Amino acid sequence: RSSTTPTSMAVRSRWVPSATRASSRGGGELLYELIDIAPALHLRSLRDGRRAIRHPVPPSFSSHMHNSIHPLFVESLGGWLGIGHTHYSDGDQVALEAIEGEWLERHSSEYQYGGSYRHAFFLLNESTLRMERHSRDLCFSSVEDLRRHPLSRNGTRPLCEGVQFVMNALLTEDGSSVQLPYGVQDCESAILTLPIDFVDSELLEFRVVEPR
């Protein structure tokens, strides 16, 4: 691989440590740590903590996204494929309520730490590490719901679990697909396999236009 192509990236989010390397103009490689993906991309050199890169992200990318995975270099996409996550419902709040002379717990949510999780795919430039493309917020169809109600049922869309959390991304051996292991309801796991062509043509639909 040429000196202008990164070989690994160092990236870390609030929860998930990960890593990425970008090439310097002098032909060497610089290892960076990705601190945040929103409301701005924030990368810091692991060799020199004072050296940092900040890139704006487009307004169309949710400002509440957190990094989920170690970015994956996909040669056919020409950049680093990343995934972020957020959730839209708050965690459970428990209050005591007197009902017919008894104190009973009243829960505000069925999810202890929040639910309605959504993910977003994004692509970073292979050398500048700027965000070039991203998807809209999305969730994965519930495996259980798909088993009970196949897609053919009256054209109805399957439901999503309230808690979904992607933890990794792996390329298949032939490089044609990406596999995404993810947690389901904090008690099960599943693997979603997506063709890279599908990620390219259907998911990364928003292209970032740099201001002149």
Q: What is the mean pLDDT of the chain?
A: 76
Q: What is the pLDDT of residues 65-118, one digit of tens each?
A: 999 988 899 999 999 999 998 887 765 455 556 666 776 665 555 665 566 788
Supply the pTM of this predicted model: 0.75
Q: What is the pLDDT of residues 20-55, one digit of tens each?
A: 555 544 444 567 888 899 999 998 887 777 778 899
Among 71, 177, 173, residue whose Cα is nearest residue 124:
71
If you average pLDDT over residues 136-158, what whole number do you get?
A: 68
The pLDDT of residue 24 is 46
The DSSP symbol for 46 reads S
Dig out the tokens for 201 from the structure: 């043509």
Percent of the chain topping pLDDT 70: 65
The pLDDT of residue 7 is 38
Q: How confident is the model at residue 194 (pLDDT cuts 50, 70, 90)?
A: very high
> Phi and psi for 196 in degrees, rounded to 5?
-60, -35
Q: Cβ atoms within 10 A of the Cβ of 4, count?
A: 12
The pLDDT of residue 113 is 59
